[in-house]
Amino acid sequence: MVLFGPLGNALLGKGMKSVGALRFGSAGEAWNTFVRIFSTGTIWLGIAFLISFFVVYMLVLTWADYSYVQPASAGAYAVVALWGRFLLHEGVTPMRWAGVAVICLGVLFVGNTHPRTTDHHLKNETK
């Protein structure tokens, strides 16, 4: 999940940059834009990774609480910075790296908690 989402978004970004400026002034321009977008392999690969992310996300939500999954998946922010830097050749400032480090520390805190508070809470109430 932490890899599929950011990689899908990075591939979409790379594909859209290769498509160039979009024009929707007329029906013909809109159609040409549509064809350019959906005939780009990088965009389709990005879509496939985002679908994979969505499937894994749904599966993870079957065994863990949302309050655990969402913060734990925030580790993807580190992957986003890495993909941006090395796949898309974007500049990542030291301030962004510091922000990513803070997020990763939060992910470590969340990762050290029980993934299901619902079952744990019910067990404590029955005692």
Give the integer Cα–Cα distance in Å for 78 and 2: 9
pLDDT of residue 123: 55
CA dihedral defined by 18, 20, 25, 27, rounded to 10 degrees?
Answer: -20
pLDDT of residue 121: 52
Q: Domain coordinates of the chain in residue numbers?
A: 4-126
pLDDT of residue 25: 81
Give the integer Cα–Cα distance in Å for 58 and 67: 14
> What is the CA angle 40-45-50, rounded to 5?
125
- Among the ranges given (5-9, 11-15, 40-44, 103-107), the one the predictor scored with the smallest mean pLDDT: 103-107
Give the integer Cα–Cα distance in Å for 18 and 36: 10
Kindly tell me if the per-residue pLDDT of 126 is higher than 70.
no
Kindly state the average pLDDT of the residues 100-114: 83
Q: How confident is the model at residue 9 (pLDDT cuts 50, 70, 90)?
A: very high
Q: Which of 119, 109, 101 is nearest to 72 (CA)?
A: 109
Q: Which of 39, 40, 32 is nearest to 14 (CA)?
A: 40
Q: What's the first-to-final CA gap in the chain, in angstroms?
A: 36
Q: What pLDDT, in 10s, does the model give residues 42-97?
A: 999 999 999 999 999 999 999 888 888 888 788 888 888 998 898 888 899 999 99
